[in-house]
Structure 1
Amino acid sequence: MEFFDNHKKLFGATFLLFLGLTTLVAILPAIHNQRNNAPLPNAEVLSDDAVKGKAVFIANGCVACHTQQVRNVDMDKTWGSRPSIAADYAGIHRTDIWRNTATLMGTERTGPDLTNIGSRQPSIDWNLVHLYNPRIVVKESIMPAYPWMFTIKEEPAKADVVVNVPEEFLKGKTGKVVATRQALQLVAYLQSLKQTPLPDGRPAPEFLYKRAEKKIAAADGAAQGLDGAALYATNCQSCHQANGEGLKGAFPSLKDSKIVLDDNPEIMVNIIMNGYNGREKEGFPPMPAVGTDNKLSAEEIAAIMNHEKTSWGNSAKQVTPEQIKQIVDAIKVKAN
């Protein structure tokens, strides 16, 4: 009983027990995990700007609405080419000895998952416009705007990054919208978010609960392939808009486009697979290689092209998956 009556011995023993349990249950397993888990071999280290952009991401509470975890269910396939694995997060380390760092996996997906956003939307121009005011590119967006990350200048310097914002969103302000260093760092972080390919020979985990692919029926009842409208909405609509008219001064229109209406699909396929920068003098930013970045199949590309060729008043000759596959194979041969 003397032990329980002596507060020094009692609290000393309690502290030692707590320290021992913490070491056994928390510290040693954490050290073991850190030694035995490593990032994937070809994982890229964040650049200095991306590291600072991650801090901006955290400071603005972006994790409240955006996750960074592709679950192994089929509905998450739109966010990444494979389900996330532990190695995807192995490169995350403590901020310093006193502070841990947020993994940013998130718990609520009010906005899209960002695990692979660097591949899905690599355009710096789109990201900056979206950051200035999301309603410019997605009318139904509930994401808050971040205009304080930009400044208005009458005469931007050569080094300034000018953002093509439509006049109606400037609210009477004159001059050019210029991205601040903070905005550029945040976009650098978003562009760095790309799923690292698994090492050669290692199969990717399967997505569970696969859904049947939606087919579009023709007038005679024959199946005509995948849902081009849905694929367009996923891969193209954020820039070219639901009405196909794009955004003046930012993203070109597909409505009445000579390339879309051309009966020869080669140029259009080449743009989808390799991107395009031929209209920079008109103020349009380079288009990313959507087909390559998003690993679109010939069937998916054909469905998207047919949607664009027959929508918004367009009336052009449709293509077949076989045609697209031949062109894609030819493009790959030229690239090699």
Structure 2
Amino acid sequence: MEFFDNHKKLFGTALGLFLWLTFVVAILPAINNQKNNAPLPNATPLTSSQTAGKNIFIANGCVACHTQQVRNVDMDKMWGNRPGIAADYAGNKRTDFWRNTATLMGTERTGPDLTNVGVRQGSLAWNLLHLYQPRAVVEQSIMPAYPWLFKEVYSVNKDDVEVVVPDKYRKGIKGKIIASQEALDLVAYLQSLKQTALPDGKPAMEFLYKKEIKKDASGIASNLPDGGLLYTKNCSSCHQANGEGLKGAFPSLKGSPIVLGDDLDLFVNIIMLGYDARPEYAVMNAVGTDNELTPEEVTAIINHEKTSWGNEAKPISTEEVKKIMDFIKLTAKE
């Protein structure tokens, strides 16, 4: 009983036991995890601008609504090419000696997952407009606006990035709206979020609970995926669900000469390689290449656009699209 009566021995032993348990239960496993989980070979470190954007992302609480983890279930397939692995987060280092980095995997997906958003939405103009007023590009969005990341000016300098905002969201604003450096850094971070490919020969985990392929009335599986769903995933954020785009930012597909025309080469090239031939609109990124769309998926998207919103153009075949895509790939290699 003398041991329990000696407070120095009692508290000293309790402190020693606590420190020993902390070392065994927390520190040793953490060191072991660091040794066994390195970033993937093709992973790209963040630049200074992207790092600053990451800090802005954390400071504004974006992780409260956006996850950065692709689960191994089929419903998460739209957020990445494969389920997430430990190596995807191995490059997430401490902010400094005193502060640990924020955990950006998230716990609640109120908004879209951002694991691969740099591929899924690579347009600078779209991202800036979405930050300034989310409902300008996604009408049903519940994301808060971040107008304090932008400035109102009356003359735009050469190095300024102007944001074209619809009149509906310019109430009380007489000048032009430009992005602050904080907004540009935040978008740089978002555009850096691209799921790193696994090394050659390394198989990715499979997505579980896959949906059954829909069959037509004859019981034969459809050759093409759902063009409407593919449009929603890859195109509607800019061209809008109604196909009418946004004036001064993204062109309308409703009644578009390209959509209704017979120049399929141009149509497929725009999807696969992007488009920058109309100065009155924002630059379109290479949606098809960035998202690794297959000929079947590109065909489904084109046919959806040709037959939606009052458009009545002749559908095209997968063989026609595949021939053009093969030529694009061949040209890119030369």
SS at 2:101's partner residue? Answer: coil
Name the residue aligned to 2:17.
17
Name the residue aligned to 1:225.
224
Q: Please state if 1:287 is matched with 2:261.
A: no
Q: Please state if 1:103 is matched with 2:103.
A: yes
SS at 2:177's partner residue? Answer: strand
Partners of 1:273 and 1:216 lie apart in 2 by 29
Q: How many angstroms does 1:215 deviate by?
A: 5.7
Tell me if the contact between 2:303 and 2:316 (Cα under 8 Å) persists in the aligned partners: yes
Structure 1 residues 206 and 117: alpha-carbon distance in aligned structure 2, compared to 1, 3 A threshold: same
Partners of 2:229 and 2:213 lie apart in 1 by 11
Name the residue aligned to 1:317.
314
Percentage of matched positions with identical amino acids: 67
Name the residue aligned to 1:334.
331
Show structure 2 runs of 5+ residues with no match: none
Q: Please state if 1:271 is matched with 2:270.
A: yes
Q: How many angstroms does 1:60 deviate by?
A: 0.7
Query: What do residues 11-58 of structure 1 show as CA deviations (whole Å, max 9, x unaligned)?
Result: 111111111111111112211211221000010001111111111111
Residues 102-121 of structure 1: pairs in structure 2 closer than 5 A: 102-121=102-121
Name the residue aligned to 2:3.
3
Name the residue aligned to 1:211.
211
TM-score by length of 2: 0.96
Name the residue aligned to 2:249.
250
SS at 2:283's partner residue? Answer: coil
Residues 128-147 of structure 1: pairs in structure 2 closer than 5 A: 128-147=128-147
Amino acid at match of 2:260: L
Amino acid at match of 1:271: I
Partners of 1:274 and 1:212 lie apart in 2 by 32
Q: How many angstroms does 1:222 deviate by?
A: 9.4
Tell me if the contact between 1:132 and 1:150 (Cα under 8 Å) persists in the aligned partners: yes
Partners of 2:144 and 2:177 lie apart in 1 by 18
Partners of 1:174 and 1:107 lie apart in 2 by 41
Alpha-carbon RMSD: 1.5
Tell me if the contact between 2:214 and 2:222 (Cα under 8 Å) persists in the aligned partners: no
Amino acid at match of 1:110: T
Query: What do residues 62-107 of structure 1 show as CA deviations (whole Å, max 9, x unaligned)?
Result: 1110000000000000000100001000111112222211120000
Q: How many angstroms does 1:225 deviate by?
A: 2.8
Structure 1 residues 215 and 182: alpha-carbon distance in aligned structure 2, compared to 1, 3 A threshold: farther
Q: How many angstroms does 1:169 deviate by?
A: 0.6
SS at 1:163's partner residue? Answer: coil
Partners of 1:128 and 1:241 lie apart in 2 by 16
Tell me if the contact between 2:133 and 2:147 (Cα under 8 Å) persists in the aligned partners: yes
Partners of 1:273 and 1:239 lie apart in 2 by 16
Count residues with an aligned counterpart. Answer: 332
Query: What do residues 197-255 of structure 1 show as CA deviations (whole Å, max 9, x unaligned)?
Result: 0000111110000002346779xx99573221111111100000111111000001111
Name the residue aligned to 2:37.
37
Tell me if the contact between 2:214 and 2:221 (Cα under 8 Å) persists in the aligned partners: no
Amino acid at match of 2:322: K
Q: How many angstroms does 1:181 deviate by?
A: 0.9
SS at 2:178's partner residue? Answer: strand
Query: What do residues 265-320 of structure 1 show as CA deviations (whole Å, max 9, x unaligned)?
Result: 111001101111111x22x1211111111111111111110111111222222111
Structure 1 residues 81 and 217: alpha-carbon distance in aligned structure 2, compared to 1, 3 A threshold: farther
Tell me if the contact between 1:118 and 1:190 (Cα under 8 Å) persists in the aligned partners: yes
Structure 1 residues 124 and 214: alpha-carbon distance in aligned structure 2, compared to 1, 3 A threshold: farther
Tell me if the contact between 1:89 and 1:103 (Cα under 8 Å) persists in the aligned partners: no
Partners of 1:233 and 1:94 lie apart in 2 by 37
Structure 1 residues 224 and 15: alpha-carbon distance in aligned structure 2, compared to 1, 3 A threshold: closer
Partners of 2:224 and 2:37 lie apart in 1 by 43
Residues 157-176 of structure 1: pairs in structure 2 closer than 5 A: 157-176=157-176
Tell me if the contact between 1:150 and 1:179 (Cα under 8 Å) persists in the aligned partners: yes
Comparing 113-122 with 223-232, greater Cα deviation is found at: 223-232
Partners of 1:226 and 1:217 lie apart in 2 by 16
Amino acid at match of 1:291: G
Partners of 1:225 and 1:300 lie apart in 2 by 7
Name the residue aligned to 2:235.
236
Tell me if the contact between 2:215 and 2:221 (Cα under 8 Å) persists in the aligned partners: no
Partners of 2:245 and 2:291 lie apart in 1 by 20
Partners of 1:129 and 1:208 lie apart in 2 by 36
Tell me if the contact between 1:134 and 1:143 (Cα under 8 Å) persists in the aligned partners: yes
Structure 1 residues 13 and 195: alpha-carbon distance in aligned structure 2, compared to 1, 3 A threshold: same
Show structure 1 runs of 5+ residues with no match: none
Partners of 2:207 and 2:257 lie apart in 1 by 39
Q: How many angstroms does 1:324 deviate by?
A: 0.7
Runs of 4+ aligned structure 1 residues displaced above 6 Å come to none
